Amino acid sequence: MGTSPQDVSVGFIGLGIMGEAMAGHLQAAGHPLHVSTRTKAKADRLLAKGANWHDGPGKLAAASDVVITMVGYPSDVEEVYLGKDGLVPHAKAGAVLIDMTTSSPNLAVRIAAEGAKRGVAVLDAPVSGGDVGAREARLSIMVGGDAAAFERVRTIFGTMGKTIMHQGGPGAGQHTKMANQIVIASTIVGVCEGLAYAKKTGLDPAKVLENIGGGAAGGFQLNVLGARMLKGDFGPGFYVHHFIKDLGIALDEAERHQIPLPGLAQAKGLFEKLAANGGRELGTQGLFTLYAG
């Protein structure tokens, strides 16, 4: 693989809330960028800056040294990687494929095995940091897969994130992301309940947020998403329906490993209630609407 960005062509599939910003950082760094997404209009800004459009994963893979995917659900990941027009069947020999979707650890293991049969390295590398982290190129990136392949693309990860760690073999990145989502699930419930309590007891919740945000309770969920809650800003930095997907994967894995996680189960139920009440397309901070009445 080339030593400068201009020598390493990168394909990017999935240009949503986070993906477009991530691909933009790679393009700005000088990588020849190849893109494909279900809705071509989402690629317009990148295409205007010189990105190359491809109709489908197969054609994109044939033109790319490294391919990154940021799609929605495990079923999407499976189709993009293993389908007839998928990345694995059409990737260049020696290419590195990187799935940054939050997906199933077992699927990550299976895709890596199929890639290995064709001499293609596949890394699972989900991220945390939301829309803000993607825009500011300071995502936390959790990587599973071949250690040598990870080292080959470390600088590419560094273009999109700040905390970048190889966690182990195939599936380890996804398991790490599950731990991340489990922590967030109960934390965001706590943020909603704390701010609702402040409001209902007659306090100024904005002043309370400023006060407790500087102490042990402080963190992204409280300081950033809590502030959005109080402003009534429930636009998506991360969609509720994607979070429910993640919590379902985490709960399935916890049950498979016989780990009781009652906080996770309760949070998943609350987010499902929010979705049933019309909140599927809200950001995760939209959970506050269940408490704000």
Q: What is the pLDDT along the chain (293 residues), one digit of tens a residue?
A: 667 899 999 999 999 989 999 999 999 999 999 999 989 999 999 999 999 999 999 999 999 999 999 999 999 999 999 999 999 999 999 999 999 999 999 999 999 999 999 999 999 999 999 889 999 999 999 999 999 999 999 999 999 999 999 999 999 999 999 999 999 999 999 999 999 999 999 999 999 999 999 999 999 999 999 999 999 999 998 999 999 999 999 999 999 999 999 999 999 999 999 999 999 999 999 999 999 76
Shared domain check, 186 and 47: no
* Amino acid code (one letter) for 51: A
CA gap 134, 18 in Å, rounded: 5
Looking at 124, 144, 168, the residue that finishes a domain is 168
Backbone angle region of 145, left / alpha / beta, with phi > 0 → left and psi within -120 to 50 → alpha: left
Looking at the structure, tell me whether residues 16 and 160 fall in a common domain.
yes
161 and 191 fall within a common domain: no
Q: How many CA atoms lie within 13 A of 179 on its CB side?
A: 7
**What domain range is 218 assigned to?**
176-290
Q: Which of 168, 203, 228 finishes a domain?
A: 168
Torsion of CA 141, 178, 118, 85, to 10 degrees: -100
Domain boundary among 113, 134, 168: 168
Same domain? 132 vs 200 = no
Question: Is 231 marked active-site?
Answer: no
**How many domains does the chain fold into?**
2
Asked if residue 207 and residue 90 are part of one domain, the reply reads: no
Q: What is the pLDDT of residue 65?
A: 97
> Are residues 52 and 138 both part of a single domain?
yes
CATH number for the domain including 183?
1.10.1040.10
Burial tier of 169 (Cβ tally within 10 Å: 0-12, 13-18, 19+): middle
Task: Assess whether 154 and 278 both reside in one domain.
Answer: no
Q: Which of 40, 177, 207, 273 is catalytic?
A: 177
State whether 23 and 122 are in the same domain.
yes
Quote the pLDDT of residue 143: 98
Measuring CA to CA, how many Å separate 35 from each of 23, 63, 68, 146? Answer: 9, 10, 10, 25
Residue 28: CATH number of its domain: 3.40.50.720
- 250 and 185: one domain? yes
**Is 19 found in the same domain as 96?**
yes
Note the pLDDT of residue 136: 97
**What is d(CA 92, CA 115) in angstroms, rounded to the nearest whole number?**
11
Same domain, 142 and 209: no
Are residues 232 and 99 both part of a single domain?
A: no
